[in-house]
Structure 1
Amino acid sequence: MHSIYLRIEKLINERGMTKKAFCEELKISTGNLGDWKRGKSIPSTAKLIEIAAFFDVSLDWIMVGRSDTLIKEQSATYETKGHSEHAFSDDTISGLTIKEQEFIKEYIEFTRYRKQKRADNGPDELS
């Protein structure tokens, strides 16, 4: 079984949900869930973000099983597509593959998504 699937299954079980209820809630076909279990495919990045937000866990944990990941940001900024972004120091990203750098970008997008979702849901939803 694929390790991403095992972590998703663990979350489903901890929530006390059935796999069918999970699929209905997140609009996933049971066939896709079965493909994830057999390792025939993996969830899309967008679906992984949705699953992580649903269970209130980090995308990093779902992807690789790590829970205490800290990305240290520097105070320098740069412009990208008209938005000011924090820049990472060269020693922070040196040695990372393009795929790893893309993962970090996706993780940042996920963090922003969760922050916005929590803001939209009001202060009672913050944890």
Structure 2
Amino acid sequence: MCAGHAAGIRLHVDGLYGGYPHSVLRQAVLRSVACPTGPDVNAAFLKIAQPAPHLRVSVIRPIGQGQQGSISVMLFSRGQFVIGERMGLSVLSRSQSPFVVSNDINLATQRMWDDLAARMKAGGPVVP
């Protein structure tokens, strides 16, 4: 994914979403993940871009109406954890398909990129 960014980003999707097949969850994630954008984010990304970093997205929404769930996004470079983001899924996830949480997935990945850019801009290390 994010093919226009250096070597791209390898994506791993795991989790479960209320009984939906994993392929549906994977498609929802593929359509929703935010790629690095903006000068600060791109500058931070270039520091970890070779070889292609690994983004792990885990979405969990238990079976049963009324169950909310969570999303976890973790970025790895050269086998080391770089940065991550975790948040609860929106209220819409309680009774809808995985595609309804596209905004949640996009928001979590965008926050992760923004946090990475802020850390790099402040002179922090790529790998904590």
Q: Normalised by the shorter chain, which TM-score bucket?
A: under 0.3
Quick one: higher RCO (CA 8 Å, sep 6+), 1 or 2? 2
Give the greater-gyration-radius structure (CA): 1
TM-score normalised by length of structure 1: 0.28
TM-score normalised by length of structure 2: 0.27
- Judging by fraction of residues, say which structure has more strand: 2
